[in-house]
Amino acid sequence: MKARTLLAALTAAASLFATFAFTSEASATTYSVYLHGRNTDGTPSGWGYWSYQRPGTNSVVINYNGRSHISSANPTVRAGLNTYCTGDNYCYVAAHSAGCAHLQYAIDKYGPYNIIWVDGAGCASGGTELSDDWSWTQGDDLASDLKTGTVRSMYNHNNMRGAWFYLFGGAKGGAAAMLITGQDDGAVGYASSLGRSKTGDFCNPGDSWWLDTCDEVGMGTSTGNRYSYHYVYYRDSSENKDHYVGSGSGGIPSPMFSDMGAYAY
Amino acid sequence: MSRERPAAGPLRLWLFVIGGILILGLGLLWLRSGVKPTAPSSDEAARGGLHPEETPPGHGNAATPPPQSKHGKRKPGDNVPASGDDDELVWVDPATLTPEQIAERRAKRLRMAAQGHRDYYRYPPSSRPLSDNEDLLVRDHVEPEIRKLKRGDDGEKGEVRLELWQNKMFLREGDEASFRVKATTEKGPVPITVVEATLVTLPDEGTAPQDLGPLSVTDDGSPPDEISGDGVPTGGFVASQSRLGSYRGNLRVMLKLESEGEQGTATLNFVYTGAEPGRFTGEVSEALEDGSLALYFGLELKEAGRYEIRARLYDKTDRPIALLNFNQDLEAGKQKARLLAFGKLLRDEGAEGPYTIRDIEGWRLLSGTYPDREMMQPPEDYTTKQPYSLDQFSDAEYSDPQAEAMIEHIEKAQKTPPPAPSN
């Protein structure tokens, strides 16, 4: 009787273990997580911010209040990351503009997450000189966070816990070029979008001319003044990408979309 | 073109003329000697970011380098690599690649992802090389903002460039804030005048800013100004409770500026975090634990919560070695924050003791609010009582089960087949 009870218990335990193991394996999923940028309407709905584009495996979107302070809205971002990028779940992340700052803030202060890599287009994690403009700053709380010194002092930009940020920087500045230092996409300069750990006049190779010199940004990890785990993956040498999703192939999110579609699976 | 350029001054025009003559002369000499343009070598193309066999049209292995105008502008072509680039993996339009090339590039990125995690987790998140955190070498460092003084909508570009410096970002009750404004042109530093300086609150949306009055900005050598008459005006204020009351949040310094006949405005931002949630007691104990050096900093906390403490470790030759981080929940009352100098990091850096812990800073981290922290008064530097030699420390790497699972997953992901075409 004792032996039969023991056998039954062992069988039940084995069955339970097998069920758990199967469930655990079956529930492991790799996601492509999309993190939007500043949104003056507040929290976007569905995939609207992204113009309904969602390349990559099991694409999901984290929508947070895009006009609140980073620290105020970040719990929503962390809740999303906890759902898609922890435990048995792994993720690629596509972040745009202030979405990069949100992600980095979460990783530094509340990580770790199971992030394989990050594609970051027009990252505003180094801020923008536009935020030095009083009227722009007064527009919303997130805009005031994006003053260069403020967002750079907010968290440790180097502490990405092993996850590489592949950066896409645009240089079609348009009218805002007067206001932003160095090459820019109309919202942020290369100092931010290409992961420079200093502010200043960062530019494409060949831009320096006569006495008007600038710090030319190399691809990949090839030049200094770079935050750790920040990688120059797309540098807009031809100056034909602006900041915005809505610009289609003329926006810096465009090559990021194609990259997610090709590699995030 | 979106990079700002200054208008050509007289010096620039002369240089332009002289330079033009020189270039013309050299060009004539070159034509006479019959030298042909040199095509970039295949090595150069590879350095530019692509393997020769996967180089799509217009990406780096063209017979001639990308043409440039006198302003150094390239003709259209996405993500054109340059000769100075030394990394292999850059974006290439996937539409121009074969499935095999895409698979190869993906495998390379996954190997890089695995290696990134391996490299990071050699040491724990709480004990990092300072060489990987260069911008955090000094406590309170705020990267200066650099921009043009003149930002008019008239399209006319200015010559004067501003550097806006401040002593810190986060102010606790009673902290002294200071700031200074430097101006330069291509000729070098130029004096700048602060015509007006005021301090205002910049509260959360929906609440009107409050004018806190004018600020004194001087260039007479009286504190916080350092050098009298150097053309770098300096100002400051005290974040006093009597002035700010229950307000917490942004404080903006609003400046009207004039230099070299140009006028403009600028702002500096500080964040007022109010009263301290606790304090460092000044008590520090040290212990060798599992082959690493643990330093316990005493705290007396009024408020429970998540505390972040950051400090920099220097070795006996005064070399900056490690950034030490603490980020944990603590109860109110007497507590200790454990800062870890990881054994392998000390050994890899060849860092002999005694060690000095400098630029210690700490705050209570708040979730879902702004400001997101309450600053504490920094304690004095601390030098270890024991000398410590490297053989007292372990050479073993840090081990993190989650990181290992992550690396295993990434390695498996290389075998994942691409999704079937959706059409």
The complex scores an ipTM of: 0.89
* CB within 8 Å: A222 and B143: no
Q: How far is A116 from chain B (nearest CA, A)?
A: 6
Find the residue in B nearest to A157 (Cα). B133
In the predicted model, what is the mean pLDDT of residues A60-72? 98
Q: For residue B417, report the phi and psi dihedrals to the nearest 5 degrees.
A: -70, 150
* CB within 8 Å: A114 and B406: yes
* C-alpha–C-alpha distance, residues B156 and B146, integer Å: 19
Nearest to B1 among A114, A227, A239 (CB): A239
* C-alpha–C-alpha distance, residues A237 and A205, integer Å: 8
Given a cut of 60, is residue A4 above it in pLDDT? no
In chain B, what percentage of residues exceed pLDDT 70?
A: 79
Q: Is A66 on the interface with B (CB under 8 A)?
A: no
Given a cut of 80, is residue A136 above it in pLDDT? no
In the predicted model, what is the mean pLDDT of residues A232-260? 97
Confidence grade of residue B365 (pLDDT, cut at 50, 70, 90): very high
Q: How far is A16 from chain B (nearest CA, A)?
A: 23
Q: How far is B208 from chain A (nearest CA, A)?
A: 10
Contacts of B14 in chain A (CB under 8 A): none
Q: Is A212 on the interface with B (CB under 8 A)?
A: yes
pLDDT at B153: 60
- Can you read off the two tokens belonging to residue A258? 């194609």
Secondary structure, 3-state, chain B: CCCCCCCCCHHHHHHHHHHHHHHHHHHHHHHHHCCCCCCCCHHHHHHCCCCHHHCCCCCCCCCCCCCECCCCCECCCCCCCCCCCCCCCCCCCHHHCCHHHHHHHHHHHHHHHHHHHHHHCCCCCCEEEHHHCHHHCCCCCCCCEEEECCCCCCCCCCCCEEEEEECCCEEECCCEEEEEEEEEECCEEECCEEEEEEEEEECCCCCCCCEEEECCEECCCCCCCCCCCCCCCEEEEECCHHHHCCCCEEEEEEEEEEECCEEEEEEEEEEEEECCCEEEEEEEEEEEECCEEEEEEEEEECCCEEEEEEEEEECCCCCEEEEEEEEEEECCEEEEEEEEECHHHHHHCCCCCCCEEEEEEEEEECCCCCCCEEECCCCCCEECCCCCCHHHCCCCCCCCHHHHHHHHHHHHHCCCCCCCCCC
The pLDDT mean for chain B works out to: 84
In the predicted model, what is the mean pLDDT of residues B322-344? 98
Nearest to A149 among B4, B202, B269 (CB): B269
Residue, of B206 and B266, whose pLDDT is higher: B266
Residues belonging to chain A: 265
What Rg do the C-alpha atoms of chain B give, in angstroms?
28
Q: Which of B17, B73, B145 to mutate to test the interface with A (most CBs of A within 10 A)?
A: B145
Given a cut of 90, is residue B38 above it in pLDDT? no
pLDDT at A133: 82
Nearest to A162 among B16, B186, B403 (CB): B403
CB pairs under 8 A between A and B: 293
Q: How far is A30 from chain B (nearest CA, A)?
A: 10
Nearest to B3 among A116, A129, A214 (CB): A214
Find the residue in B nearest to A185 (Cα). B2
Residue, of B353 and B57, whose pLDDT is higher: B353
* CB within 8 Å: B113 and A164: yes
Given a cut of 50, is residue B41 above it in pLDDT? no
Given a cut of 90, is residue A181 above it in pLDDT? yes
Q: Is A204 on the interface with B (CB under 8 A)?
A: yes
Q: For residue A189, report the phi and psi dihedrals to the nearest 5 degrees.
A: -90, 170
Q: How far is B219 from chain A (nearest CA, A)?
A: 24
pLDDT tens, position by position, B289-332: 999 999 999 999 999 999 999 999 999 999 999 999 999 999 99
Given a cut of 60, is residue B10 above it in pLDDT? no
pLDDT tens, position by position, A32-59: 999 999 999 999 999 999 999 999 999 9
pLDDT at B30: 34
pLDDT at A213: 86
